[in-house]
Structures are given as structure tokens and as C-alpha cells.
Amino acid sequence: MDTEIKKEILYDLHKTIEILQVPETKDLEELKTISDHSIEDIAVHKDLELVSVTVLLYSIYKIVSTMQPDDYQELLSALQSAEKSLQQNNLGRYNSSLKRLYSIVRRTDTAVQEHLQDVMQAARIKKGTALLQRGLSIGQAAGLMGLSNWDLQPYAGRTTALEQHDEIYPAQKRMAQARHVFGVR
Amino acid sequence: MAAKKVLFFDAGPIISIVMSRLIWILPELKKKFGGQFYITPAVRRELIERPLTIKRFEFEALQVMKLLREGVLEVYAHVPLKKVRELQHLANTSFHIQSQPLDIIQTGEMESVACALEEDAAAVVMDERTLRLFIENSSEMKHLLEGRFQKTVTADAAAIKKFSQQLQGITIIRSIELVGLAYTLGLLDSYIPPGASGKEILLDSVLWATKYNGCAVTEHEIEEIKTYLLQDYSN
């Protein structure tokens, strides 16, 4: 694993553990901030380990308030184990901890289980949209997040970044050009 | 020399049109165009093979498959791979963040453009903002990236210039313009609701549907297109 990526993942895991150790409602927003934090590194490094952790942390943010106390403790313990394993460069154990984390998210409660696909999918779409905002193409952003262009495309027309650039050709000129190409008078 | 009566479609505009429930305008537009509508094998994969594995988009894949079966869309088999790689390399080495090249475009997305160059096509139909902006206005692309990243973005002026030179003069049409053409040709007339502002309501509905289904078009542009089409149509 790349040193910079490892540093980034360790930072994200550590901050998440800190937040979950002393749970307060206001802190949940911080959990979201953490998953936002690594999006630039994903855009630059295209690292799938980082994508996986970012999607996991965003999913935790979405479901943590519905977790049962036992699941919550198990989640915290798995996060601590993932952090420790990565610090020790024990990638086998780190991957097992991540698997455990995904499985805890999966079985959190019936409601979440029912919408599991949505939680993970929503996290991927959310992060994919953040990559679009950074200027990556739909194909790049969807590919990194393990999505198809069909999943991400509806969000491409709605990014606020779209309104923040200048088009070189006015829309009316584009329309006139299209008419010319199609021979429409 | 006049460009060939050929259009290359990226996946984006077809996705926008299918999801806006306007796929039926494509055969009509093709008749009017009087030439060929091509997609590359990578675009075909994104439009058919991939969504066939996703329950939510399976029917959309079948709709595109039907267009292929009926010959409205054709797969262009002679993708100039060397050209694709060259353009891809230029695009993805044009901008750096912390000395790391920023891969902004995917190979599949570059295929349609490279094929259009190779065939001297009349235009490329593309909704994707990033590649379009890069082709039409690379300095704005740098500006956009600088604004969106907290880290410093450096641009390789030589790579950008070379990329721009190769793609100079390529015409890009978006799905929103195809929908505008469908309106101009009267294909959408049966949807005009009664009342004095019927045409305006129709335009609002189809143009916004296209935006919300993925066409990179700003709110301001939609207003501009609407004004243009309403004036034109009333003449």
C-alpha cells in the first residue's frame, strides 16, 4: 500500500474511532466530513483501498444512529483492530477487519438490512458525485466507485460545479450549429 | 472538404435521452440527418452489456439494443487505438496535483472523439462536461480544476496545446440540442398542452428532463435555448 494512502486511511480510521468513542449527535456530521476529506486523494491517486474505506465510513455515518449498542461496540472494536493492523503493516488482518466492518454494517438492523444496497450504493453515488465536482469525467468517477455511467449520470447534470464554469459558445450558437449539422433550416 | 454524414455518439447523450423517455426521437433525427449514427465498442459495452447486469437498468439496455438491431445505431469497429492512446495520454498528463498526473478522462470516452477525427465526422454527440470543456476551452478546464481542488493544480501548457491542436474544429452536439432539434422538427408537437404558453411548458419540461438525466447544461443555457426555440418556432 502506498505510504500516502496508508497515512490517509490511518487518519480517517483514527478520527472515526475518536468520534465514535464519545458519541454525541453533533459529532455525526464530523463523520461525514471525514469521508469527504479523502475525496481529493481518491481523485489524484485513484486508489481502491481508499475508495473502499471512504464508502465504508460514509455508510457508517448514514446508519450509525440506528445501531444497537452491541453492534456499536463491535463496530468500534473492528475499527480499532483495522487501525492497529494497518499501523503494524499486517494487511491480511487489516482486510479481515474491513470485511468484519462491512458485515456489521450489513446486519445493523432490519431496516438497514432491507435497504443495504441503498446505503452502500448511495455512499458510492455520493462520493462519485464529489469526484464529478472535482472535474473528473463521468467514466472516471463511475469507474473508481464501481458504478456504471447509468448510476452516476443523473447526478452529472445537477452538480453545482456545472454552474461555475464559462462556456465558450453561447447556447444559441450551439443550437444553430446542431441545426446546420442536421440540415434543419 | 465537407465533413462526412456521420455522427459519433458517446454513451452520455444516449443515457440522457433514454432516461428522459425520448429514445424514440433518435430514428426520426437519423432520417432527417441522412447519414450514420455510430457508437464505439466501449460505448456499446457501457450502454448494453453493463446495464444488462444491473436490474435497475436492464430495460434501458434493451431499448438501446433495439436501436442497434433496427440499424439506427451502428457499432464502429475500426477504433484507431493508437490515436485513442495518444489523446488519452495528452489529456491525462495535462494537469498535475502534487506532481501526480490527474487522470480526468477514461479511454472509452476518448474513443468516440478519436473515431470522429479519423472519419472526419460531422460532429461528436457528447454530454460529458469534462472532455467537452477540455476540447473547447482548455484554459477554463484549468480554472475549473483549480477552483475545485484545495491543492495546487499545475498545467502542462505543451500537452494542452498539442491536445487542443489535434481536436481543433471538432463539432460537439449535446443531447439537449438533439431535443431542441426534435422540437424544431415538430416531433414533440403532440405533447403541447392547451393554452397560450403550451409550447413554453413543453420546452421547459423536455429541456429540464434532459438536464436532470445527465446532460451537462446550465440553467442559464436552458433559458437561452428556450428563448431561441420559441422565437424561431413562432416565425
Tell me the pLDDT tens digit for each residue of A8-27.
889 989 989 988 888 676 67
| B179 lies in some domain | no
Query: Could you give the CA distance from residue B13 to residue B24 in angstroms, rounded to a whole number?
Result: 13
Contact assessment for residue A178 and residue B177, using Cβ atoms and an 8 Å cutoff: yes
pLDDT tens digits, one per residue of A101-117: 988 887 775 555 555 55
Same domain, B52 and B11: yes
Same domain as B49, residue B118 = yes
Helix (H, G, I), strand (E, B) or coil at B12: helix
Domain holding B8: CATH number?
3.40.50.1010
- The residue among B44 and A38 whose pLDDT is bigger is B44
Q: What is the band of A168 on the pLDDT scale with cuts at 50, 70, 90?
A: confident
Q: How many CB pairs under 8 A join A and B?
A: 177
Which of B8, B15, B120 best tests the A interface by mutation, with the highest count of A CBs <10 A?
A: B15
In a domain, B218, yes or no: yes
Residues B85 and B111 grouped into a single domain:
yes
Instruction: Kindly compute the dihedral angle of the four CA atoms of residues B112, B116, B118, B121, in this order, to the nearest 10 degrees.
Output: 160
Question: Hey, where are the domains in chain A?
Answer: 3-160
Domain boundary among B173, B198, B224: B173
Quick one: B10 and B82 in the same domain?
A: yes
Query: Which chain B residues are Cβ-neighbours of A156 within 8 angstroms?
Result: 12, 127-129, 214, 216
Confidence of residue A135 (pLDDT cuts 50, 70, 90): confident
Q: Which chain A residues are Cβ-neighbours of B51 within 8 angstroms?
A: 148, 150
B79 and B147, same domain (yes or no): yes
Name which of A149, A160, A166 to mutate to probe chain B: the one with the most chain B Cβ atoms within 10 A of its Cβ: A149
Q: Which of A117, A175, A177 to mutate to test the interface with B (most CBs of B within 10 A)?
A: A175
Distance CA A48, CA B173 (A): 34
The continuous run of DSSP H or E covering B7 comes out as strand B4-9
8 Å CB contact of B144 and A165: yes
β-strands B153-155, B95-97 pairing: antiparallel
DSSP class of residue B95 equals: E
8 Å CB contact of B50 and A148 = yes
Going from the C-alpha of B60 to that of each of B21, B48, B201, the distances in angstroms are 10, 8, 26
**Shortest CA distance from A162: residue in chain B:** B218
Residue B106 sits in the same domain as residue B217: no
- Do B169 and B147 fall into the same domain? yes
For residue B68, pLDDT over 90 is answered with yes
Residue B88 to chain A, least CA–CA distance (Å):
12
Q: Does B1 share its domain with B28? A: yes
* CB A53 within 8 Å of CB A38: yes
Q: B189 and B103 in one domain?
A: no
List, as ranges, residues 125-154 from A with C-beta within 8 Å of B.
133-140, 143, 148-151, 153-154
On the question of pLDDT at B224 being above 90, the answer is yes
B54 and B167 part of one domain: yes
Picking from B106, B211, B224, the nearest residue to A172 by CB comes out as B224
Same domain membership, residue B200 and residue B101: no
State the smallest CA–CA distance between residue B193 and chain A in angstroms.
Answer: 24
Who has greater pLDDT, B191 or B146? B191
CA–CA separation, A8 vs A3, rounded Å? 9
Instruction: List B173's β-bridge partners, or say none.
Output: B125
> Whole-prediction pTM value?
0.84
Best mutation target, A8, A37, A131, A148, to test chain B (most B CBs within 10 A): A148
pLDDT of A85 = 92
Nearest CB among B103, B140, B211 relative to A165 is that of: B140
Minimum CA–CA partner of A158 in chain B:
B212
Contact A182 B12 (CB under 8 A): no
Closest to A30 measured CA to CA, from A14, A44, A16: A16
Establish if A117 touches chain B: CB-CB under 8 angstroms: no
Q: Which of B153, B173, B193 is the last residue of a domain?
A: B173
Dist CA B85 CA B97 (whole Å)? 22
Stronger pLDDT, B224 or A57, i.e. the higher one: B224
The domain total for chain B is: 2
Buried b (16+ CB within 10 A) or exposed e, A101-134: beebbeebeeebeeebeebbbebbbbbbbbbbbb
Q: Does B51 share its domain with B151?
A: yes
Q: How many CB atoms lie within 10 A of CB B186?
A: 11
Nearest to B133 among A165, A178, A181 (CB): A165
Q: Does A66 touch chain B (CB under 8 A)?
A: no
pLDDT band at B167 (very low <50, low <70, confident <90, very high): confident
Which chain B residues contact residue A150 at CB under 8 A? 15, 19, 50-51, 54, 56-57, 60
Tell me if B178 is assigned to some domain.
no
Question: Do the domain assignments include residue B68?
Answer: yes
CB contact under 8 A, B54 and A148: yes
Residue given cell 456530521 in the structure block: A29
The residue segments making up the domain with residue B110 are 1-173
Q: Which residue of B has its CA nearest to A134?
A: B148
Contact check, Cβ <8 Å, A137/B131: yes
Provide ipTM, 2 decimals. Answer: 0.91
- List chain A residues with CB under 8 Å of B123: 178, 181
Confidence of residue A164 (pLDDT cuts 50, 70, 90): low
